[in-house]
Structure 1
Amino acid sequence: MTENATADDQPLPYPFGNGRQIELERRYAELREAPGLARVQLPYGRDCWLATRYEDAKIVLGDPRFSRAAAVGPDVPRPNPEQPGEGGILMLDPPEHTRIRGVASRAFTARRVERMREHTREIVERLVDEMVERGAPADLVEHVALPLPVMVISEMLGVPYSDRDDFQRWSNAFLSTSLLPPETVIEYGKALRDYMTGLVEQRRAAPTDDLLSAMLRASDEEERITQDELVNLAIAILVAGHETTATQLPNFVYVLDRERDQWDLLLERPDLVPRAVEELVRWVPLGVSSAFPRYAREDVEVGGVLVRAGEPVLASVASANRDRRVFADPDRLDILREDNPHIGFGHGPHHCLGAQLARMELQEGLRALLRKVPTLRVAVGEDELDWKDGMFVRGFRTLPVTW
């Protein structure tokens, strides 16, 4: 065991890039082969440890000796100036986290998601048809990737689709690192909470067959969570429920356009789409940097380093998914990959609640594009790509495509 590996070194500035590329930054590969953990310094808060290897990341994400609830206050490592507060499900540890997540888990079931597959297929096929009718070039984000998950999560949660522009704008408050000024982040966050509080009250008075009503029933039957907790949970589902698909579907198309043999293989074998989605989730580094630090409750050895009680640690999911100790030829995109235990949807208690919904939407989105526009290509060169700036997620603001 190395008690303080790299602790005497100057912390590395983090994140390692601005997210304006699809490739995972090379520094991660260097750190995976170096002993111990790395010390990094985010724009705000104290320096912290960074786990880049698969097994180390799983320990940080899944071991109960690491706490999310302790990540409060001005010293928390973070990419934006806003200090993390208490209350959201991402800020809780078991048993409080288990109590609140259980309400959503009872309502947000795999069966409910699967029942939505046929309707999701109808939505995305209609969106692709409308994009084709408009003619090429067309923006894949505007016409398909964004409206698809917004429509699905709106219907599932019970949010009127007519309010989509508002909640899309407000949700940026939860995903911005430097895109929005701090006062706007606060304003948008309050507006979304007020909106969701009103919707919860409406559903309590007049329940329907949507996810929000189902969560209310699960909560009221056992008095398991407060209204504020339910509002925070609904916001988390709303924001996460559309951002992953809206960002990853264009990312997938961009990568498959560069790896054209993989696109052609999917055209020949559409049965490989589910496996392709898993491989693309593994390969595409969605986060611009690691987020949501865990604090050691006690001294814990990780990667040969003694992490002292009270020290924060970040786990890089993107780097873990490229660990050669787990994935053969990890930097190669291979949709035929069979052994793929990626942690692209997280690991441990905070494993993504909507992982099955995201998988289903990405599968149906990719199937529709392959079937209806088999000659789909990105319509601009590398220097013309319109990358998102100042956001937690890596992807495109717009992605012009042709066919």
Structure 2
Amino acid sequence: MTQSSELSGGMNKLAGTDAGPDLSKCVAIGGELGTSASKFCCDETMVLFSSVVGDALSANMENSWRIMNRSSDDRWIKNLAIFDDSRNDWRYVGAMTRSSEKTNWFTHKGLIQNYDDAFLAIKAGLFLLNLELEKKGRPIAEAGFGFGITVRHGENVLEKFLSYMKEHLAADGEKKFIAIKAKNVATGEVREIEIQLDFSVMQYQAYGAYMALLFSKYKMDVYNTYVIDVGHGTWIKLPIIDNEADINLADSLTEGIYTITKNISETIFESSEQKFKIPEQRIMQRLPLKDFKIEIPGMGVFDYSRLLAQESQFMGRRIMEYVARDITALSQKGQAIDFFTIIGGGAHLLYDTLKREIGAFFGWPENIIEQRII
């Protein structure tokens, strides 16, 4: 049994007796702290916010900010503060950190930087998700929480973060709660909620994609699967062998969509004789819309579609170098991969390149490529 299976077993239960808790009213919630964005979901409902936390303004400064604020967007997700018990003070989360003098990202190179901030992010995600579910008449009373974490953290970090969570839960007899105090900085409204946490499971990121395939495409038959998850600042490789994550080969590498957009931005900067710097975020915002043109002051409209295709191909080939080494290592142990799946926010950019590279590596005809690369 691998470490990932052990960590998703009894060690992860934060509440309940030996007989196990009554889960009849428990809703399943999934979450992860990504390099750029944190995601929390329940069934078809998902919330997403920037993976950053920042110091709050003083009460007087915040009142002044509220008076001077001209924005009509007073949504919680854009103006969120969470009370940090460890600091006994408010902290801004996500978009609201635009007003913070000092900010911290939840993760760096795929690794959690600070347990206090990570727990604050979980509170923010659960609070925002509860708001969305309240609109549908389904507020969260009891939850089972599945949390994605990169394989780089290792077993010790998983155990330590689980212990941290246990220590910071509110208790009422045998029941455990996450107590959340939130403020909408734009309106000044403060809300407090408690969510009963029946259990929590930590699993390696990208393993969920395999589980989705197991229940849908695979019809519960076990197939060895190689998951490639292309994110904003990192990409994850996760071979699943006999239903278990191969943690010796799994890794999170510091290259992602940001690498591509950064290189495009630098090329545009050089093309303008170092006069105009186009923020990577402006380029990234256009990618889902397939808008590959951007206006550069004094130079007109710049079409970066050729650059995007070139950078995507380069990164796809670098990823394939890792994949090829892993396939060779598995073959030496008498193991083979049945399916490859390419997921994540950058999958649409690299899918064709990776599909072509994987097919060429194995010498597969087109019909086999279509069947075995998802």
TM-score of the superposed pair, with normalisation by structure 1: 0.22
Higher strand share: 2
Higher helix share: 1
The structure whose Rg is larger is 2
TM-score of the superposed pair, with normalisation by structure 2: 0.23
